[in-house]
A and B are shown apart, each in its own frame.
Chain A
């Protein structure tokens, strides 16, 4: 170089002659990667800072706990709320306990809370992280910029509670530098899963299935935001084309994924049954759970999508058909708020200050008398009630016992019907025996026998019962002065409980 060049702006000399510094376009990929890199910094930071904590915490792998926490929060995110603080802490405890089994439970919980609070970054007012990186501006000047991001954020839930949600950045960090379209990423992950399963590589398959689930959550989150915007202002959303297209697309997506995942489910079940290694079997079983959760989330998404149309019509009735007034006023949003938001804070503050000064009305100035002041200072503060108002003792009224049969009678009837499994009896015999004990008892026995004619096999099967009362009509008429109909054969069937349990697992 013959002329002195500013070292800040000089570009590497790839070809002959000086070239201008790379512009923003050339820098974009770099800054994107720098930002992605920055998102991992809080996790590394945890391990770096754990030595500073009071107590020997170096035994804990903080980054691992943090990633597990992000996993848990992501999986517990729903449409309306996020994950609960305490729930996340509770679920983290087994992992932390495994890292240091000889430490106390309180310490484990402290570690869990420390990691979670650091992921939220409770200490800062923004509750976020900031990384500084440099780029070349369009004019070739090197600028340092602030990149602000959050990993776990707190959102308001119902009734003033606070929930946790993972941000897009965190989801992207978690599943690995994903600067791609949500839909296509999901398809890719699922195709990968199918390939993996067909080749029998279940360990990788589980990873891919979990990734697919994160994608599903992310997709639902995007949709939730769009639907919320729809609710706020009907005219703001393009209901002629864009939103119906979006909903149709999403419904297609749900239908498609549902079919797809059911197919995967069948495949994995087969893989699980055919697997001989217990480790493979276990992994496949976990995979079944994950895919079932995916299906559940799709169903939830679908029901939200179906609500969108009626919501639009109701809002339109409310908003669009209101009679127009004679004169138009100031458009607070379009003329004030919207133009103001993109302005630099310094300038925007002038307008917000003006609105504040003129929009807050008046306050009557307080003038204090010394006499009052002394009294005010000496008044003890009112203690805040922790437990709330006392609950009134509920006034309970005993309801009259209007049962047709007494407990004792039921016990007698059950005793009568407690038959040996290979010795069934006729209903007529049972009725005669019952009549000897109690004139009312035959009615109960007859009732139980009729019920047994159609025994709840499915319920007994699900509940793992070992015996089941049944009644069969073989065509013999009942000869009794109180009852008519068929003289049922009443017996007890033994159920194969162990076999059923195994079948139940298979079915799920």
Chain B
């Protein structure tokens, strides 16, 4: 079940013309009643509970139907969401009222609240962010997977760690082959390459109470996965390999419509330009100095 993305800005100027007004004359009043506003706000509040499934809640499903069938109600719900500092990603029976926090919204997750060490330590801050990116990259390994609404990705915590570690290992090998000295200059930790920070962080460690070592890479990735599961983006399916998860429709929307673009914009600003003409499926890394890929390889795991 797909629905055009209801961008809050577009929603006003571009009413969804699914049903001509005359087929639903009783639901096209010119005035908005307080009861309508309450229903619209209730729908948004359902959207704020990401783990709630529309299929399991009759009232939620009813409000979703109303959103789709009554354009004025849809506009009202969008307005409520926008006013609260939320971005509407999609409204459908599969994803529910998929909303996410706009930047600077009270609902936004801040890195400092997420991990205490991340606010003081640049390496930790990077690793926590990278963990989220790596989870997404493993969940949707190919561009088609991200574009295909029916796709369900599966990840394991240890698998994500191994994946990033392998990528780092390739970079290390490349640097060695090219004779680069990758050891960073003392006292300038910000200039150290990202892969090196990851590579030297240990992947796990023994703790006294048999829990995962929080500072290790599997600890960081495990935290990211647990957090995403808490956000209704992943569903935990098992305990193998550090925890196995599968993706939800919301996560796909979030990564595709929000996170991917935002990170890409930053990379563009840094002058690292990923080339795309919109037709290629597996794109090689953009920069000419990037990974020397074997033919048809989308990932750097070539011999």
Give me the interface of A with B, judged by CB distance under 8 Å. Answer: 24-25, 28, 31, 85, 120, 122, 125-128, 132-133, 135, 143-148, 150, 153-156, 159-160, 162, 225-226, 228-230, 232-233, 235-238, 242-243, 246, 322, 324-325, 327-365
Q: Answer whether residue B144 sits at the interface, using C-beta atoms and an 8 A cutoff.
A: yes
Tell me if B184 and A145 are in contact (CB < 8 A): yes
- 17 residue pairs from A and B, CB less than 8 Å apart: A150-B200, A154-B206, A155-B203, A160-B242, A238-B302, A329-B140, A331-B274, A332-B141, A335-B274, A335-B283, A340-B194, A340-B263, A340-B267, A341-B167, A354-B259, A357-B111, A364-B48
Write the nearest CB–CB distance from B211 to chain A, whole angstroms: 9
Which listed residue (A24, A237, A342, A357) contacts B171, Cβ 8 A? A342
- B24 / chain A contacts, CB cutoff of 8 Å: none
Please give, as numbers and ranges, the residues of chain B lying within 8 Å of A126 by CB-CB distance.
200-202
Contact A358 B258 (CB under 8 A): yes
Considering the complex, give the chain B residue whose CB is closest to the CB of A132. B186
Find out whether the CB atom of A328 lies under 8 angstroms from the CB atom of B280.
yes
Interchain CB contact under 8 A, B242 and A360: no
Residue from the list B105, B136, B303 in contact with A332, Cβ < 8 A? B136
User: B193 to A145, Cβ gap below 8 A?
Assistant: no
Contact for B200 among A28, A128, A338, CB less than 8 A: A128
Count of chain B residues with Cβ under 8 Å from any Cβ of A? 124
Cα–Cα, bound, A363→B99 (Å) = 11
A235 engages B128 (CB within 8 Å) = no
Interface positions of B from 93 to 126, Cβ below 8 Å from A: 99-101, 103, 105-109, 111, 113-114, 122-123, 125-126
Whether B181 lies near A135 (C-beta < 8 A) is yes
In the complex, what distance in Å separates the CA atom of A20 from the CA atom of B146? 54
Cross-chain contact A331 with B282 (CB below 8 angstroms): yes
Identify which of A85, A331, A346 gathers the most chain B CB atoms within 10 Å of its CB: A331
Contacts of B266 in A (CB 8 A): 350-351, 353-354
Query: How far does the alpha carbon of A148 sit from the alpha carbon of B189 in the complex, in Å?
Result: 13
- B129-167 CB mask vs A (1 if < 8 Å, else 0) is 110111011001111111110000000001101111011
Could you say which of A28, A135, A150, A246 contacts B202, with CB atoms under 8 Å apart? A150
- B132 → chain A closest CB, angstroms: 5
* B53 CB within 8 Å of chain A: no
A residues less than 8 Å from B133 (CB atoms): 332, 336-337, 340, 352, 355, 359
A359-B132 contact, Cβ under 8 Å, with A235-B282, A329-B147: yes
Q: Decide if B233 is an interface residue (CB 8 Å cutoff).
A: yes
Give the distance to chain A from B137, nearest Cβ to Cβ, in Å.
4
Residues of B within 8 A of A85 (CB): 206
Say yes or no: is B231 at the interface (Cβ < 8 Å to chain A): yes
Are A334's CB and B260's CB within 8 A? no
Q: Are A233 and B301 in contact (CB under 8 A)?
A: yes
- Which residue of A120, A324, A359 is within 8 Å of B254 (Cβ)? A359
Contacting residues of chain B (261-294) with chain A, CB-CB under 8 angstroms: 261-267, 269-270, 272, 274, 276, 278-287, 290-291, 294
B114 CB → nearest A CB, Å: 7
**Cross-interface CB contact of B203 among A24, A154, A360, cutoff 8 Å:** A154
CA gap between A150 and B128 in the complex, in Å: 22
Closest 10 CB pairs of A and B: A352-B129, A359-B259, A242-B303, A329-B147, A346-B190, A236-B301, A236-B299, A335-B274, A145-B183, A362-B107
Most buried by B among A120, A156, A228: A156
Name the residue of chain B whose CB is nearest to the CB of A361: B231
Could you tell me if A344 and B256 are in contact, using CB atoms closer than 8 angstroms?
no
Interface string of B59-80 (1 = CB under 8 A from A): 0000000000000000000000
Q: What separation, in Å, do the CA atoms of A361 and B102 have in the docked complex?
A: 9
In the complex formed, the residue of B with least CB distance to A324 is: B144
CA distance A460 to B146 in the complex (A): 66
Asked if B297 is at the interface (CB within 8 A of a chain A CB), the reply is yes
Contact of A342 among B48, B195, B296 (CB under 8 A): B195
A-B contact count (CB 8 A): 343
- A156's contact among B203, B210, B272, by CB below 8 Å, is which? B203
Kindly provide the distance from the CB of A396 to the nearest chain B CB, expressed in whole angstroms: 31
A25, A233, A335 interface centre (most CB from chain B within 10 Å):
A335
Quick check: A333 and B183 within 8 Å, CB to CB?
Answer: no
The answer for the CA separation of A176 and B41 in the assembled complex, in Å, is 70
Q: Does B244 contact A (CB under 8 A)?
A: no
Of B109, B159, B162, the residue contacting A362 (CB under 8 A) is B109
| Contact indicator B189/A345 (Cβ below 8 Å) | yes
Measured CB to CB, the nearest residue on chain B to A163 is: B204
Say yes or no: A362-B144 contact (C-beta < 8 A), given A160-B242, A336-B137.
no
Q: B residues within 8 A CB of A160? A: 210, 212, 239, 242
A345 touches B143 (CB 8 A): no
A361 partner, pick from B100, B189, B215, B272, beta carbons under 8 A: B100
Of residues 163 through 193 on chain B, the ones whose CB sits less than 8 Å from some CB of chain A are: 163-164, 166-169, 171, 179, 181, 183-186, 189-193
Contact between B218 and A364 (Cβ–Cβ < 8 Å)? no
Q: Are A328 and B144 within 8 A (Cβ)?
A: yes
Instruction: State whether B190 touches A162 (Cβ < 8 A).
Output: no
Bound-state CA distance A228–B169 (Å) is 13
Q: A232 near B255 (CB under 8 angstroms)?
A: no
Given contacts A335-B276, A356-B111, contact A346 B122 (CB under 8 A): yes
Distance in Å: Cβ of B243 to nearest Cβ of chain A: 9
A126-B201, A352-B132 are contacts. A333–B298 as well, Cβ < 8 Å? yes
Q: Are A235 and B181 touching (Cβ within 8 A)?
A: no
Nearest A-chain residue to B123, judged by Cβ: A345
- Minimum distance in angstroms from B282 CB to a CB of chain A: 7
* Chain B hits for A362, CB < 8 A: 48, 50, 86, 99-101, 105, 107-109, 231
Within 8 Å by CB of A363, from B109, B206, B264, lies: B109
CA distance A336 to B196 in the complex (A): 17
Cα A155 to Cα B133 in complex, Å, equals 22
- B197 interface contact, C-beta 8 A: yes
- On chain A, the residues within 8 Å of B239 by CB distance are 159-160
**Which residues of the other chain, A, contact B196 by a CB distance below 8 angstroms?**
148
The answer to whether A345 touches B193, judged by C-beta atoms less than 8 angstroms apart, is yes
Given the complex, which residues of A lie within 8 Å of B296, measured CB to CB?
Answer: 235
Q: Which chain A residues lie closer than 8 Å to B128 at the CB level?
A: 352, 356
In the assembled complex, how far is the CB of residue A87 from the closest CB belonging to chain B, in whole angstroms? 13
* Contact assessment for A333 and B203 in the assembled complex, using a CB-CB cutoff below 8 Å: no
Which of A153, A343, A361 is in CB contact (< 8 Å) with B193? A343
- Which residues of B sit under 8 angstroms from A153, Cβ to Cβ? 202-203
In chain B, positions 75-93 with a C-beta closer than 8 Å to chain A are: 86
Interface residue B205 (Cβ < 8 Å from any Cβ of A): yes
Given A160-B242, A332-B146, A353-B111, A235 contacting B299 (CB threshold 8 A):
yes
B19 close to A (CB within 8 Å): no
Closest chain-A Cβ to B213's Cβ sits at a distance in Å of: 8
Interface centre among B198, B210, B233, B272 (most CB of A within 10 A): B272
B158 to chain A, nearest CB (A): 5
The reply to whether B205 and A122 contact each other, CB–CB distance below 8 Å, is yes
Q: Is the CB of B232 within 8 A of A344?
A: no
Beyond A145-B186, A225-B169, A342-B193, whether A233 also contacts B141 by CB under 8 A is yes
